[in-house]
Amino acid sequence: MADAWLEAAKITAERELHEKGFLHLHARLYGQHLVIYSEAGDERDNRARLTQTRRDVFRMGMANHHGRWEPAPFTGTLSEMLTVLMEQFGFILAK
């Protein structure tokens, strides 16, 4: 089970995404990864992944058109990574 800090990060990420209008997105934990995805019926469409490298530092990855993870050259706090996602990669998060 994920630690309480990472669980809180998941809740924060989903809340911040929803506050910015990305109501179709959800967050889930997979090990040390915080996965941002959308759902259509029974299918999940992965959009981005934030991998915890230290307690308060994440490394970003993006899902390619095959659903495989590609590294992105960004690391930072949860807040910084969400800002980069929403401001620079809104097209990846769009419905």
pLDDT tens for each residue of 48-61 = 999 999 988 999 99
Q: Given a cut of 60, is residue 1 above it in pLDDT?
A: no
CB 17 within 8 A of CB 5: no
Q: Mean pLDDT, the chain, as a whole number? A: 92
CB 21 within 8 A of CB 5: no
Q: What is the pLDDT of residue 2?
A: 59
- If one compares 65 and 17, the residue with the highest pLDDT of the two is 17
- Mean pLDDT to the nearest integer, 43-48: 91
Query: Which residues share a beta bridge with 30?
Result: 33
Q: Given a cut of 90, is residue 64 above it in pLDDT?
A: no
